[in-house]
Amino acid sequence: MTDHNIPVTEDELHAYVDNELPAERRLAVEAWLAAHPDDAARVTSWRTMSDALHAKYDAVADEPVPPRLSVDQLSRPPRRWMVGAIAASLLAFAVGGGVGWAVRGASATPSVFANFTGDALEAHKLYVVEVRHPVEVAGSERAHLQQWLTKRCGWQVRAPELGDSGLKLVGGRLLPGPTGPASFLMYETASGERFTIFASRAETETTQMRYAASGGNGALFWADRGVGYVVSGGTDRDRLTQVARLVYDQNEKAGL
């Protein structure tokens, strides 16, 4: 008889999303999610990513193999199943591995994750309450802000456009980071809701997105191309995810 009180593992959560969880554990996982809203939010995020990947790549399975890849010397017809299998494997890796919003990635080491989110949340809590001096360079000087931070930090710093989330750039400042200089950008809504983006060099190439919370504030961390990013805001994880996804997507389009 299955014990429904056994704690749910990360592998089981992924199996649940992929509909590969054994029937005898499904009820236990659903009960766990009902009692653990953070894990329920992760599962919802993974399912959203899975749906998006299916919508984008399922059609690949119906495409013929390019002539240059066919095995003419063996008189075999193009094998559509091969392309489909590759696409399916990539999809399984992306969803099962929980790599955020890219079909690549790995988990950050605990120290990298803790250092980045710790520094970012401290900076967020320190400056979001400031009224007169929340930033060093105002958002009205976006071009100068980006050039200054890029020069000081050593990578291309770009202040994303977050108008789709109702956020306007307040400005930014230069801060110390876990491994050197860090860029710090602040955004706010018309009602005064503030979010910050903290970025610094990371000793890892790419990672999945991970959540942390402290003192009534939440943060989402990921690393890409040797730079670690933390988007910080309130504890509404759906709202935080919406903002972080806009930042991530714009960085991807810009090749940052």
Query: How far apart, in whole angstroms, are the C-alpha atoms of residue 191 and residue 126?
Result: 19
pLDDT per residue as tens digits for the range 232-249: 999 899 999 999 999 999
Domain positions in the chain = 10-97, 110-254
Query: How far apart, in whole angstroms, are the C-alpha atoms of residue 204 and residue 109?
Result: 9
Whole-model pTM over 0.85: no
What number is the average pLDDT over the span 1-10?
Answer: 58
**Tokens, residue 38:** 């953070």
Res. 13 pLDDT band, cuts 50 70 90: confident
CA angle, 108 then 248 then 54, to 5°: 90
More confident call, 10 vs 192: 192
pLDDT of residue 17: 80
Is 37 exposed, middle or buried (CB count within 10 Å of its CB: 0-12, 13-18, 19+)? exposed
Kindly tell me if the per-residue pLDDT of 2 is higher than 80.
no
pLDDT per residue as tens digits for the range 150-176: 999 999 999 999 998 999 999 999 999
- pLDDT over 90 percentage in the chain: 42
CATH number of 110-254: 3.30.200.100
pLDDT per residue as tens digits for the range 177-235: 998 999 999 999 999 999 999 999 997 767 778 899 888 899 999 998 889 999 999 98
Query: How far apart, in whole angstroms, are the C-alpha atoms of residue 146 and residue 158?
Result: 6
Res. 54 pLDDT band, cuts 50 70 90: low
Q: Residue 135 gets which letter from DSSP?
A: -
